[in-house]
Amino acid sequence: MNAYDWLCNLPMADYDSSCKVIEVSFSQGTRKDFFRNTSLQQYEKGELIAVEGVSGFDVGEVSLTGEIVRLQMKKRNAKEDNPEMKKVLRRATDRDIETWKQNKAREPEAVIRSRAIARQLKLDMKISQVEMQADGRKATFFYIADGRVDFRS
């Protein structure tokens, strides 16, 4: 769900107490997560940034910054001082964006191939989406099933 940042035009009174977490959106807003801005770099909504991923990096779009992030975190029961929260690495470079686009282009083929494998193994499931991490080190498979699916085979 999207939130409108109605606080974005207010001047910042105290930078020390300001929110040091930003909300980042992936796959055109289908998935969002919070990331710690350790460098305290100023990011604008819509800007592409590189964030920590699973043993690599991912590229996402800044969806919220500033105090409105605290409200969203409270709504989702997320803690600002969570030590497991991943970090913003940097603004996405041209090379990051190129790698991200190449791996995004592989997603439709991965969906088709994984559906064929599921059919071949007679798994009672429907693969709906595959999301590749920007550096290509991880793929997440989203599926729908009426019951539990046994992946051991």
DSSP assignment of 50-78 = EEEETTEEEEEEEEE-THHHHHHHHHTT-
Cβ–Cβ under 8 Å, residues 134 and 99: yes
Burial of 20 (0-12, 13-18, 19+ CB in 10 A): middle
pLDDT given for residue 130 in this prediction: 94
Cβ–Cβ under 8 Å, residues 51 and 87: yes
Q: Mean pLDDT throughout 73-88?
A: 91
pLDDT given for residue 54 in this prediction: 85
Q: Mean pLDDT throughout 63-87?
A: 90
Where in the chain are the domains?
21-92, 94-153
Per cent of the chain over pLDDT 70 is 89
Q: Is the pLDDT of residue 18 over 80?
A: no
Q: Which residue has the higher pLDDT, 39 or 143?
A: 143
Q: Is the pLDDT of residue 71 over 80?
A: yes
Q: What SS3 class is residue 48?
A: strand
Q: Is the pLDDT of residue 13 over 60?
A: no
pLDDT given for residue 146 in this prediction: 94
Structure tokens at 20: 């040091």
Report the predicted TM-score, pTM, of the whole model to 2 decimal places: 0.81
